[in-house]
Amino acid sequence: MADLVARFRDVFDDSGPVRVVRAPGRVNLIGEHTDYNGGFVMPMALDRVVRIALVPHDRPVVAIWSVQFDERAEFRLGETEPAGAPHWLRYPMKVAEVLAEAGVALRGFRAVVDGDVPVGSGLSSSAAYEVASALALLVAAKPEIPAGRAAVAAEAHGLTSQKLALLCQAAEHRVGVRCGIMDQFISIHGQAGHAIMLDCRDLSFEAVPLPADEAAIVVIDSGVQRKLTAGAYNERRSQCEDGVERLKAFAPAIEQLRDVSLEVFEAHADALPETVRRRCRHVVTEDTRVLESVEVLKAGDLDRFGEFLNASHDSLRDDYAVSGPELDLLVEIARGVEGVFGSRLTGAGFGGCTVTLARPEAVEPLRAAVLEQYPRRSGLEPRIWVSEAAAGAAVEQ
């Protein structure tokens, strides 16, 4: 991604003033599959981003060169689906669609896009791409927008940063996954050095400082590409909705699993079919783990936070059934390393990454243990990153 501006000039032979926008991927520390149930999540933004360099023009056409796919494609603003469009073009297309519906008067542009958020690893490369696309479209439509946080670009169009996240989420739904709000929200609202505790119902949030000198956050890619995710993910979501419908019979005020306390769940769990019961139990207990995690993190109790991470993974594995042998293996290896507080799968599951909280001096032993055991026991090559919480999306220039 070294010099995207030079790449732009090279591809398009254009000497116009280039704007650059970026949006990060994320790792979720705790609060998995709670967002679409109106609950709580605690992700942080990564220092890995999708970046777009662009120059607006007067034609209603968005032409993009993708460095990662080594391919150029374009769409006309207002057009629904150009024949033969590559999959990666659908993200900016759907974002343009929802922005136009929200009243943004769009203009076309030419752009080069590149990124270092691994694709298909559960670190939200698609949310990063949606948010970066949204910023590119907003900046192209109003070139007077200055460099700065995403909120500034949103406000220039009469949108809040929350609304911008919701629009990017709507775009993802149109691509095919009925995702919650977490990924797009954190990509926009991330803060350096902090996790963000988000209430997914009213979108209020709090930045929780992460003690980088006491705990490192290690992201490990299992090398299992997430497959069939849309189907299995949407199925989990429907099972939660099924649980809500059934629990409503006992407490009509319940609208989402967020409204179900552990006590109410336990009192009526027998009325739920086995699978639905397990799915609901994960979500209800996970919400309590997030709320308690915020408290112990603020109190500096990393041991206790680690226990919540472990409990989250076990619940995702046993009740939500979104783990797999490779993710379980990575978690098992990590938990066996001295100085590791806790380890769990992160993101939707079905492959992708784990997140591990470890004392800084435990990072090298952890790396060594994973490199020694994981390939031998899984036949796969892991990728390991130590990540610091980064800032959210921005107009860079």
Q: Which residues are catalytic?
A: 183
Tokens of 300: 């500096």
In the complex with ligand GLA, which residue's Cβ is closer, 277 or 344?
Answer: 344
Distance separating alpha carbons of residues 359 and 163, to the nearest angstrom: 37
**What's the 3-state SS for 126-150?**
HHHHHHHHHHHHHHHHCCCCCCEEH
* CB 190 to ligand GLA: min, Å: 15
**With left for phi above 0 and alpha for psi between -120 and 50, is residue 70 left, alpha or beta?**
left
Helices (H), the chain: 4-12, 90-101, 125-141, 150-156, 161-175, 182-189, 229-248, 262-268, 274-298, 302-318, 325-335, 363-378
Candidate ranges 70-78, 99-107, 138-146, 180-188; the one touching ligand GLA (CB under 6 A): 180-188
* CB 187 to ligand GLA: min, Å: 11
179 lies in the binding site for ligand GLA (CB under 6 A): yes
Phi/psi at 157 (5° precision): -110, 15
Phi/psi at 53 (5° precision): -110, 130
Residues within window 289-348 making contact with ligand GLA, judged by CB under 6 A = 347-348
* CB 204 to ligand GLA: min, Å: 17
In the complex with ligand GLA, which residue's Cβ is closer, 96 or 348?
Answer: 348
Candidate ranges 94-102, 176-184, 247-255, 265-273; the one touching ligand GLA (CB under 6 A): 176-184
Pairing state between β 205-209 and 71-76: unpaired
Longest Cα–Cα distance of the chain, Å, equals 68
Compute the radius of gyration of the chain from its Cα atoms. Answer: 21
Tokens of 344: 């769990």
* Residues that contact ligand GLA, how many (by CB under 6 A): 11
Interface mask (CB under 6 A) for ligand GLA, residues 114-153, using x and -?
----------x-----------------------------
Residues within window 56-85 making contact with ligand GLA, judged by CB under 6 A = none
* CB 265 to ligand GLA: min, Å: 19
Interface mask (CB under 6 A) for ligand GLA, residues 18-47, using x and -?
--------------xx-xx-----------
In the complex with ligand GLA, which residue's Cβ is closer, 110 or 226?
Answer: 226
Helices and strands, counts by H and E, the chain: 12, 13
Which has the closest alpha carbon to 386: 194, 215, 167, 219? 219
In the complex with ligand GLA, which residue's Cβ is closer, 25 or 56?
Answer: 25
In the complex with ligand GLA, which residue's Cβ is closer, 38 or 180?
Answer: 180
Pairing state between β 194-199 and 61-66: unpaired
In the complex with ligand GLA, which residue's Cβ is closer, 166 or 348?
Answer: 348
Q: Which of 97, 130, 183, 319 binds ligand GLA (CB under 6 A)?
A: 183
Which has the closest alpha carbon to 348: 119, 123, 48? 123
* CB 168 to ligand GLA: min, Å: 11
In the complex with ligand GLA, which residue's Cβ is closer, 280 or 395?
Answer: 280
Candidate ranges 175-183, 186-194, 325-333, 389-397; the one touching ligand GLA (CB under 6 A): 175-183
Pairing state between β 205-209 and 148-149: unpaired
List residues binding ligand GLA (CB under 6 A): 32-33, 35-36, 124, 179-180, 182-183, 347-348
